[in-house]
Amino acid sequence: MGTVVEATNQGENGNVTEQKPTVVFVLGGPGSGKGTQCANIVENFGYTHLSAGDLLRAEIKSGSENGTMIQNMIKEGKIVPSEVTIKLLQKAMQESGNDKFLIDGFPRNEENRAAFEEVTKIEPAFVLYFDCPDEEMERRLLNRNQGREDDNIETIRKRFKVFMDSSLPVINYYDAKGKVRKIEAARPINEVFESVKAIFSTKNEKAD
């Protein structure tokens, strides 16, 4: 018992065991700048960055038995079953040796959210939400040039719809709990980071 991602503050007998890690969920539409800003946060605030999308793409490359299923879902902009994504996140958290995580692009829907909470018992310290108009995100994705199979106009439109239908409700869920820190993301990278820094420099950074 007591791996970093199953950690509880109290054991069954009520004894204090170990501290839960600090988790910040980083959400926003495709191309809103999550990965870009996470790299800056890592440099300045000592977090480990875990992008769910990056972990899923690495899983495809590794030749895992789930690879073909994941590849097909990403091509269609669909959300991979939580079981798969959460296992990858847990493994990456355990291997990092850190206790502060930026979980980027997760939870993407209600199933992701509820399953993560159920499996890990971790509540995010807060949710960083990059708010960006579709036209700007579309421009960025079409210029991203990372050879991604989902950065084409047809898949991009599907991803925007999935974001509206499935991901925004998760942001609204956390907003109702007072956990959302919204950032205007359609500004130059350094200006966006000034707003991000202000959030990580205050008491917001603390768990709870």
Q: Cβ closer to ligand ADP: 4 or 52?
A: 52
Q: From the list 5, 22, 25, 28, which residue makes contact with ligand ADP (rule: CB under 6 A)?
A: 28
CA 65, CA 16: separation in Å to the nearest integer?
39
Q: From the list 41, 80, 127, 180, which residue makes contact with ligand C5P (rule: CB under 6 A)?
A: 80
DSSP string, 55-112: HHHHHHHTT-TTHHHHHHHHHTTPPPPHHHHHHHHHHHHHHH--SEEEEET---SHHH
DSSP state of 47: P
**41-55 as b/e: b if 16+ CB within 10 A:** beeeeebbbbbbbeb
User: Bridge-partner residues for 126, per DSSP?
Assistant: 24
Dihedrals phi, psi of 33, to nearest 5 degrees = 105, 20
Q: Cβ closer to ligand ADP: 30 or 107?
A: 30
**Residue 21 interacting partner from ligand C5P, Mg ion, ligand ADP, none (CB closer than 5 to 8 Å by kind):** none
Q: To which residue do tokens 């199953």 refer?
A: 6
Q: Cβ closer to ligand C5P: 112 or 120?
A: 112
Please state, in angstroms and as integers, the Cα–Cα distance from residue 24 to each residue in 12, 44, 89, 132, following that order.
Answer: 27, 15, 13, 19
Does 127 bind ligand C5P (CB under 6 A)? Our answer is no
Does 30 bind ligand ADP (CB under 6 A)? Our answer is yes
Q: From the list 29, 31, 33, 35, which residue makes contact with Mg ion (rule: CB under 5 A)?
A: 35
Does 78 bind ligand C5P (CB under 6 A)? Our answer is yes
Taking Cα atoms as reference points, which of 98, 133, 127, 134 lies closest to residue 113?
A: 127
**Residue 79 interacting partner from ligand C5P, ligand ADP, Mg ion, none (CB closer than 5 to 8 Å by kind):** ligand C5P
CB of 61 to Mg ion, least distance (A): 16
CB of 193 to ligand ADP, least distance (A): 9
Give me the residues that bind Mg ion (CB under 5 A), please.
Answer: 34-35
Give me the residues that bind ligand C5P (CB under 6 A), please.
Answer: 30, 51-53, 56, 73-74, 77-80, 85, 105-106, 108, 112, 150, 159
